[in-house]
Amino acid sequence: MKPSVRYALVFTGSTIAGVYLHEIGHAVAGWMQGIAVVPMPAKEYILRYQVYWNQEIWIALGGVVGTTLAVVGATLYFLRARRPLAEAVLLGALIPPCFYTIRFLIVGRGHDDLEWQAAQTALGLAPTGHGIDVFFLCLSLAGIIIWSTRLRFPLRYSLLRLAGVAIAGVILLFVLQVGNNSLFDRFFPRTRVVNAPLGLDPR
């Protein structure tokens, strides 16, 4: 198998695994509260028609923890491994937080619905603030800086590779999300969050 094909496959697998760890984080937080949650490839499904805000905040925070663990694990592997494909693992894991950052910079909120506001509430932060957005911005920058310490190609070529990988990753996330919703949304209830604070921004 050609190195470029192996790189693409490892990058794709790492990106999908990073997204799924986010959903598993949601599910684990739900399970710990006795709530049935099914983690699918790009969305968690709560098997209730409604969930209370004081439960939702922990389910939301679980996703943040899952993404963070994925990036930290990929970074440690990248720093310890001598294999060229370790770069593909790191960049794949960085795609979700980088996507959240891009969405934050363009739309003003890194995640739609009330997920970030709920996670911030669990951390004791103002739900209308941007603490989680800033956290993922810093996590993305830290990952890119660590990646840059082991450039295997000249800087200009490496930055072009990074831009290409970022575009491919965002397209992959879009396809994964649309595909997941098309396949699974019909089989699970649409859960409503009860007792959410007024004035939250569900962008």
Instruction: Tell me what pLDDT residue 185 has.
Output: 97
Instruction: Tell me what pLDDT residue 8 has.
Output: 94
Task: Concatenate the DSSP letters of all residues of the chain into one string.
Answer: --HHHHHHHHHHHHHHHHHHHHHHHHHHHHHTTT--EEEETTEEEESSSEEEHHHHHHHHHHHHHHHHHHHHHHHHHHHH---TTHHHHHHHHHHHHHHHHHHHHHHS-SSSTTHHHHHHHHTTS-TTS-HHHHHHHHHHHHHHHHHHTT-SS-HHHHHHHHHHHHHHHHHHHHHHHHHHHHHHGGGS---EEESPPTT----
pLDDT tens per residue, the chain (203 residues)? 677 899 999 999 999 999 999 999 999 999 999 999 999 999 999 999 999 999 999 999 999 999 999 999 999 999 999 788 999 999 999 999 999 999 999 999 999 999 999 999 999 999 999 999 999 999 999 999 999 988 877 767 788 888 999 999 999 999 999 999 999 999 999 999 999 998 888 88
Instruction: Tell me what pLDDT residue 91 has.
Output: 96
Instruction: Tell me what pLDDT residue 150 has.
Output: 87
Which residue reads 């970030």 in tokens? Answer: 116
**Domain coordinates of the chain in residue numbers?**
3-190
Instruction: Tell me what pLDDT residue 202 has.
Output: 82
Instruction: Tell me what pLDDT residue 180 has.
Output: 98
